[in-house]
Structure 1
């Protein structure tokens, strides 16, 4: 599946803390990665999905934060835009925007 990038106009330390709050509000379980700048968000199986994950890398971009988001839908070949919508909702809720693809 395709990865998406976005920019949030705040420092990475602040954005990293906000990701946990925003993700939980959107129904994601937060799983910290091996590195502080990497985390995984997951949703369990539901009547509409076999489960979803978003792997997020947080990096510094001047005074802003650069996010790389890799969506994955379990058990499907195509996500029909679900990964992009999830990435967009997350970045928008953080006060940023996805980069044009």
Structure 2
């Protein structure tokens, strides 16, 4: 019978020590990804209807932009969309057309 309260008895010392154990490899993403994409967990759009942020052609963007105005990670969202050339949807409170105009002004 195993003594789970006594680590020495349950795991003899002739086995690999924790520092000699192979590193844990994450199945999805890396810790760096969490730092870069952590803002998405705090985004207000993650708590609302996603269809509002990807309206049909000619559809209204008003509802999505209203949500964006109160979002604490709006700047990170817009920065992500610009860096990754997002071509669809409302990101950081701007439509694809507005993001294109912004890029042209910056370049």
TM-score range, shorter chain: under 0.3
Q: Taking structure 1 as the reference length, what is the TM-score of the superposition? A: 0.27
Structure 1 or 2: larger helix share? 2
Structure 1 or 2: larger strand share? 1
Q: Which has the higher contact order (CA 8 A, sep 6+)?
A: 1
Larger radius of gyration: 2
